[in-house]
Each structure stands twice: as C-alpha cells, then as structure tokens.
Structure 1
Amino acid sequence: MYKFFFFFISFSLSAQIKGVVKDSISGEPIPYVNIWVENEAIGTTSEANGTFEIQTSAGKNLVFSVLGYQRKYLAAKENMTVLLSETTMNLKEVVLINKKATKFVEIGKTPNTIKQAFDNGPKMNAKFFPYQSSYAKTKFIQKITVYTDSKIEDALVKIHLYEVDENGFPGNELLPKELLVTIKKGVLKHSIDVSEHNLSMPENGVFASFERLLIERNKLGTKYQPYILYNFVERDFLFTFSGGKWNKMENESADVKEKMRFNEPAIYLILSN
C-alpha cells in the first residue's frame, strides 16, 4: 500500500495596492495622507491628488491618518476609495497680542554631537522637549529649526508638534493645520516661523517630529528626499511612528535603568516672550 502525504503551504501574495483618499462629504481628494500597513514597517503617502500605491497583501489592515480627519483602518484591496471624515476640532481660544518679541531662547541643543543624515525609510522619530521653569518668561514657541540634507530642489515635508498624552506618548497635534515646508537642495538649516499660532510651551513638555512625504515629487531613483540630520545622543527613550502607531524604545531591563544611545532628529525650538 502506498501512502501519499500532501503538504499544503499557505502564503499570501504581495500586491501593489492602489487607491485614492477623499473627503467623505465633499468628495475632494485629500493630499499627503500618512498610510501604513498596520504593525508593519511599510508605509507611504498619498499624492497631491489623493492617490496612493502601497506594496502589501490584500486583506491586511491599512491605517490612514492626517491632521483634521479621523484615523481610519481598512482592509487592503484593489482599487480602494478611502473616505475620511473630518474631526471636530476643539479649538482653544486664541488671544492675539500685538507685541514684538524681545527675548529668545533656543532649546533642545545637543553640544558635542555629530549631525549625520541617513535613510530612515517611512518612519518618523519624535524629539521630546521637557518643560523647565526657566521657560516661564519665554513661553511662546516662536520657531522650529530643522537640519536637512537634500539631493533635489523643492522637496516637500511636514513638521509636527504634539502634546504629551496621559501615557507619555505623542498625542494630539498642537498646530491647527498642516505645516508643509519646502526644502532646498543641499545640507541646510531651516527655521520655520510658527509665531502666528501663539503656541505656549506645555508644562508637561512637547514632541516635535519631521515627516518625509513618500511622493513622486520627492523621489530620486528608488529613494525619497530629503534626509533629516540626526544627533547620536544618550536618552531615556525615543518614540518612533511605524506601523500606524507610536512605539516607545527604551531600556527594558528591570534591574538597570540606564540611558540608551539613539539617533535623535536634529530639531530645535526657539521660544520667545
């Protein structure tokens, strides 16, 4: 008697998932939406016309997020039309003060470190700025400074400022609208003025991050521009946005609470009175 054994190998075929992201009410395309395969290091950005492509398997969850709209989770499939609903913004009262800033202080400086640029893929790293009592006299966030290395002219990026949530993670965005910044070619320092928003430095600190948009405008060969410069520093933790969520990297040893060395984005804040 012959016995036959059949081995069934289950596998999922990766495919190029295409789609478009639109406003659920107006039907207008939503540009520069952050798109991830949930819990995986695969991400992309919607183009200016709302279209996107991402390499993954049909059925896997995609995470769509952009300022001003509710985050959405959808199973990947061919020819997707993704409708996002606007969030209800709890706008804080803004008191416009007709004054000229006379005092400035730069925070987040990391002396004796070497700035270096490298390709971090679709990930975003957030830099934490703890509050200090000395900031009371210069409590307004005047400018955000970033260092970049770009091989192309007019690359487009986003800059984010986040509140600290109840778990110590990056939470809600502080800026009321997307902060899109055009980056010139070369290794450059960029100062972005946000004084019009009258943002006060939160007493539990603030996170800042740099989002490289994975769009055709920024593509050079198979890579995307620009690169942000990083400082190699000692920190208690570092937050990275990947897989559609913020992930905390820290020393997990219960016995030893030592600082770790991380590549931290070269982002600084300038405060004013």
Structure 2
Amino acid sequence: MRVLAILIFLLISTNLKGQLSGCVYDKATKEQLSYVNIWYFNEEETSGTTAKKNGHFNFNELDTTRFLSFNKAGYEILKVRPDSNVYDVYLSRLNESTNQLSQPANGPRRVGIGFDFKNATSYASLSITKSDPVIYAQYFSTGDYHSYKIEKINVSLSSRINSLINIRIYEATEDLKPGNLLDFKDILRKIKVGKESHTIRMEDLNIRISKNGFFVGIEKLIIEQNMISLNETDFNNNQKVEVNEYYPSINLFPTESSNLLYAYIKGEWMKLDNSKISLGINIDLKR
C-alpha cells in the first residue's frame, strides 16, 4: 500500500507539472470570449497572458499554489485556483447600469480636458517586455463639466508593428480610485506603425461623467499580433538572448505636478506614487 501511495503521488505530481490550458466562455451564452486578460500568481511569482480571439489560453506549467484572475469589460472579475491541466472558465456578465445623468443645461457646448500636446517638449515610450497584461489608468477631474458626454479620446501611443489596444473608462469613487466600468464592452483600436496620435471616437457609447470625475485606462494585450521577438545581448554573460516586446508602447510625458495614476496587476489596483508624468491623454467632452 505504501508503494502504491507513492506511485499515485508521483503520477499526480508529474501531471501537475504539465501545461495549464483552457478556454474562457460567457456563462450564459457559452460563447468563447476574446482578449480576456489573465493573471496567474501567488505571493512569490506572477505571470500573465491574454486569451486569444477564440478564447483559448495556456501557461507553461500548472502550479496549484497560484491563482488565476480573469478580467474582461462587461463581466465579473473571477479569481480561481486551478486543479487540473485543462481548465475552462465561465464568466458572468455584469448587469449594465444605464447612464442616467441628464444633459447639463448650461456651459460651453464642447470642452477639452487632459494633456496639452501643443506644449509637450519630450516624452519616453513605455514598452512591456514581460508577458504580463496590465492596465494603466489616469484620473481626470471634470470640474464644472460633470454630466458632459465623452465625445472622443486622443491618446499618444507608438508601435513598431500594427497592433491592438483596449481602452477602458472607469467611474471615479469618492476616494478617487478606479471604480465601476462606464463602458460594458471592449473598446478595441488598431494602432498603426509610424503614427503616434490616435483619436478614439466615443459618441456611440453615450458615456456621461459624474462629479467625481473618471479614469481612462489603457489595457495592454499580450497577444501574438502585438509581439516582436528580438535578439539582445545579456551583458552578464555576453550571450544573445531572445526577448519578446509587446506593443503599442505608451508614451509618457513629464509634468510639473503629480497626476493620479493606477496600475491594474494581479487582479488589484495599485497606486503609482510620485507620478509627475502623464499618459498623454486628452479628452473632448460634449454638453
């Protein structure tokens, strides 16, 4: 019996070292969900990926000490601990709350808020070389323009390949953290090579903003379409190593005052301190 128990343990251990793969579905319709960002983590290690267009995902190994966290616009965040090598996931759709804010009676018909590109003197590009998805979000105060509708968003992004980005709009909570999503579907946009200023039209979403303000999030997608493989020199041993870069790059602009920035990693929002930078986002509001 002792030998049998050891053999069973070894078989289970061997199985747990295999790949972890699965597919993400809509719980109600059973449709496959595309471009779901997934974090695979415990206290010591974090990795991540983005589900493919057909909803499939995989990791190199199954580690039962890690959690999986699934995040997609319009769906409840799901956090689970996988217990098998094939792990299909079903996400529940959120109840869409209608934007009940009425059109303001007074004020200019249109107004622009956010970063002033005309006075920008320099910027740095932030590219991701680790295969971890992330959402960077910046807060925007509405001042006297609450209840205005978001007409379009202008964002500065750079890319060495034709790539794909997802934009998210969050309501700001009372303590100025990213709260509920104001858009209940992915706002996917293609980013073309050589173009840095990108306009995303938003009128059809009919998003009106509250007095607390809002966050604009830029969601990086870890998909093959966004990846370039490069051979770089490891200066520790002078050997060539393959590095994957994921585009587009987010252009960061220095500012005199601090901005309120958050990053969504491992299923949680983390505040970025001493953020005298801007994500290079300008928003046009319409009364």
- TM-score normalised by L of structure 2: 0.76
Residue-by-residue CA offset, 1:199-255 (whole Å, 9 max, x unaligned): 2232111100111211112222122121121112331642111111111133xxxxx
Cα distance change of structure 1 residues 105 and 33 upon mapping to structure 2, 3 Å threshold = same
Partner of 1:241 in structure 2? 264
Q: Closer, same or farther in 2 for the Cα pair 1:200/1:148, shift >3 Å? A: same
Cα deviation, 1:112-136, whole Å, max 9, x if unaligned, reads 4522212145322111101212x36
Residue of structure 2 in register with 1:132 after alignment: 143
| Aligned equivalent of 2:158 | 149
Query: Number of paired residues?
Result: 247
Q: Distance in 2 between matches of 1:94 and 1:202?
A: 8
**Aligned residue runs from structure 1 range 197-212, under 5 A:** 197-212=205-220
Partner letter of residue 281 of structure 2? I
Give the number of the structure whose residues are more often helix, by fraction: 2
SS across alignment from 1:62: strand
Matched residues in 2 for 1:201 and 1:68: separation?
A: 18
User: In the TM superposition, what are the counterparts of 1:242-261 in structure 2 within 5 Å?
Assistant: 242-250=265-273, 260-261=274-275
- Rounded to whole Å, the distance in 1 between the matches of 2:227 and 2:259 is 34
Post-superposition offset of 1:54: 3.2
* C-alpha separation in 2, matches of 1:266 and 1:225: 16
In 1, the alpha carbon distance for the partners of 2:158 and 2:88 equals 35
Paired amino acid for 2:254: F
Unpaired segments ≥5 residues, structure 2: 1-15, 230-243
Query: What letter corresponds to residue 243 of structure 1 in structure 2?
Result: K
Please name the residue that 2:29 is paired with. Answer: 26
Q: TM-score, normalised by structure 1?
A: 0.80
Tell me the percent identity: 30
Distance 1:262 1:14, change over 3 A: farther
Give how far 1:167 is off. 3.7
List 4+ stretches of structure 1 deviating above 3 A. Answer: 13-16, 38-41, 54-57, 92-96, 110-113, 261-264
Contact conserved, 1:19 with 1:52, CA < 8 A, in 2? Answer: yes
| 1:1-273 mapped onto 2 (5 Å cutoff) | 16-38=19-41, 41-55=46-60, 58-59=63-64, 60-76=66-82, 77-93=84-100, 103-110=109-116, 111-120=119-128, 121=130, 122-133=133-144, 135=145, 139-153=148-162, 155-221=163-229, 222-233=244-255, 234-235=257-258, 237-250=260-273, 260-273=274-287
RMSD: 2.8
Segments of 5+ residues of structure 1 without an aligned counterpart are: 1-12, 97-101, 251-259
